[in-house]
Amino acid sequence: MPTFRNLPSVDRLIQAARATLNNEAPASLLRHAARAELEAARVALRADGDASAGPPALETLTERVRARVAAALQPSLRPLINASGVIIQTNLGRAPLSQAALQAMARVGAGYSNLEYDLASGERGSRHVHLEALLARLSGAEAAIAVNNNAAAIYLVLGALAAGREVVVSRGQAVEIGGGFRIPDVLRASGASLVEVGTTNRTYAHDYAAAVGAQTALLMRVHSSNFRLLGFVHETSVAELAALGQARGVPVLDDLGSGTLLPTAPYGLAAEPMVQESVASGADLVAFSGDKLLGGPQAGLIVGRRALVERLRRHPLARALRVDKTTIAGLEATLRSYERGQAHVEIPVWQMISAPLAGLHARADALASRLVAAGVSAEPVACQSAVGGGSLPGETLPSAGVAIHPGSVGAPQLAALLRTSEPAVIGRINEGRLLLDLRTVFPADDEALAVCLLAALVKG
């Protein structure tokens, strides 16, 4: 087709694009982008039967190559401003890490460490020792192990202790947590079989007792995490399960999901189950996430009886699911904040949960004034934040934010615009307005948030 000949050569296009990129792009990337754009132009010409439009001008192709290279040069994973009001947002990376955790991770990650080296003997050590004593002190359990995440923790416990045998779970707790993590599926994948007892809304200790037999490997309790049953409901307590387990020689696994080492009630929230309580109630193994209410890096923590934790450590899956040195460093620093009694001041998740409402209102007022002064239709509003991460379903914290009237642009369009700003800003749409909840915005990001909003609203 003659029009193809009117397209520039790859080299000509690279030369033109390089000039617009201040020579900053790697040559291989530039070549890749130029080839891709020329190929796209050929496809478009072929699709356009009579080639009426002709090939794109060199400037057009150059701009497309520049844009393609610029997009490829941006980090794929990058920070953003979470103004959604959901503190532990799985899609947005869950818990932001404390300064102490970040420093520990950087220090250990940048060099060598005694990860699996015993400095006293000069012999091979175990990566499991670094967190165990700390976790034992904080939880009251005898032993502990950390793995990749809580899903891995559950998988490891089931695979190591229940493969080929039965696990008794309340019908109301055979749930899907989210992200495709379904208790019945995980059980099956681990080689254990699920024995459901009770009914969706009510399960009693005698339901479990009737199901325990020679094949029973575990009694399992699962925190319902992201939903709440209300009304005519009965769950069997961990203490009741522990009593039954002890009488019948069957260990109890408590999957707390988020779990928490700090009580949530002082912050006006319902009581999220605490790790220490579960251990004290007699659960033999307690599993919880590192990056939900604990506020640390992604991990799954299992605390409990020494003999059982030893079996987990020796299982081949433990090697497959192990955590790396930076995770251990971050977890250790995070846990030390709890031991010092400073978790609520040092750990961002708890800073956000405990942020006084008056301070949030003052920030919302300041941001709204700034937007209004620039001609934006915005106002400070009271709103509700959520803790998220499968903890405290249905519970909210009173908060403050800014509502923006999007005018003719429309709220979805405005939200989309903010997602493309740098950094991206994630808000939520509420009654046709874009709502930005300041509880989940770091005060240090208020300025960047204002700048992004003004830029987007001018564009919009």
- Min. distance of Cβ 390 from ligand PLP in angstroms? 3
Which CB atom, from 349 or from 383, has the smaller least distance to ligand PLP? 349
178 within 8 A of 390, measured Cβ to Cβ: yes
Which CB atom, from 55 or from 297, has the smaller least distance to ligand PLP? 297
Binder of ligand PLP out of 139, 150, 264, 399 (CB under 6 A): 150
Which CB atom, from 136 or from 177, has the smaller least distance to ligand PLP? 177
CA distance 85 to 387: 8
Stretch that binds ligand PLP, among 79-87, 148-156, 241-249, 395-403 (CB under 6 A): 148-156
Tokens 């599993």 sit on residue: 287
- Min. distance of Cβ 175 from ligand PLP in angstroms? 8
The beta-strand segments (E) located in 163-317 are 166-170, 176-178, 181-182, 193-197, 216-222, 252-257, 285-289, 300-304
Per DSSP, the three-state class of 216 is: strand
Which CB atom, from 139 or from 225, has the smaller least distance to ligand PLP? 225
CA 409 to mean position of chain CA atoms: 31
- Min. distance of Cβ 391 from ligand PLP in angstroms? 8
Binder of ligand PLP out of 223, 325, 370, 439 (CB under 6 A): 223
CA distance 415 to 412: 5
Which CB atom, from 35 or from 322, has the smaller least distance to ligand PLP? 322
Per DSSP, the three-state class of 452 is: helix
Determine how β-strand 117-118 pairs with β-strand 123-124.
antiparallel
Under the binding rule (CB under 6 A), the answer on residue 177 touching ligand PLP is yes
Which CB atom, from 281 or from 289, has the smaller least distance to ligand PLP? 289
Q: How many residues line the site for ligand PLP (CB under 6 A)?
A: 15
Distance (Å) of CA 155 to CA 175, 217, 296, 305, 419:
15, 14, 21, 18, 36
Question: Looking only at residues 425 through 454 of this chain, which bind ligand PLP when binding is defined by CB under 6 A?
Answer: none
423 within 8 A of 410, measured Cβ to Cβ: no
Which CB atom, from 301 or from 378, has the smaller least distance to ligand PLP? 301
DSSP string, 376-437: --EEEEEEEEEEETTSSTT--EEEEEEEE--GGG-HHHHHHHHHTSSSEEE-EEETTEEEEE
Question: Looking only at residues 334 through 393 of this chain, which bind ligand PLP when binding is defined by CB under 6 A?
Answer: 390
Q: What is the CA radius of gyration of the chain?
A: 27
Q: Which residues is 300 bridged to in the sheet?
A: 147, 289
Which CB atom, from 149 or from 351, has the smaller least distance to ligand PLP? 149
- Report the residue closest to ligand PLP, judged by CB: 257
CA distance 338 to 327: 17
> Binding string to ligand PLP for residues 385 to 414, with x set by CB under 6 A, is what?
-----x------------------------
Which CB atom, from 181 or from 267, has the smaller least distance to ligand PLP? 181
Which CB atom, from 122 or from 180, has the smaller least distance to ligand PLP? 180
- Min. distance of Cβ 356 from ligand PLP in angstroms? 28
Query: What does the CA dihedral 134, 138, 140, 143 come to, rounded to 10 degrees?
Result: -30
> Binding string to ligand PLP for residues 260 to 299, with x set by CB under 6 A, is what?
-----------------------------x----------
According to DSSP, residue 436 is labeled: E
Binder of ligand PLP out of 62, 84, 170, 225 (CB under 6 A): 225
78 within 8 A of 423, measured Cβ to Cβ: yes
- Min. distance of Cβ 233 from ligand PLP in angstroms? 17
3-state secondary structure 126-189: CCCHHHHHHHHHHHCCCEEEEECCHHHHHHHHHHHHHCCCEEEEEHHHCCEEECCEEHHHHHHH
Stretch that binds ligand PLP, among 49-57, 252-260, 394-402, 410-418 (CB under 6 A): 252-260
CA distance 420 to 193: 47
Continuous segment of H or E residues that includes residue 124: strand 123-124
- Min. distance of Cβ 44 from ligand PLP in angstroms? 44
Which CB atom, from 19 or from 233, has the smaller least distance to ligand PLP? 233
CA 181 to mean position of chain CA atoms: 14
- Where on the chain is the footprint of ligand PLP (CB under 6 A)? 149-151, 154, 177, 181, 222-223, 225, 255, 257-258, 289, 300, 390
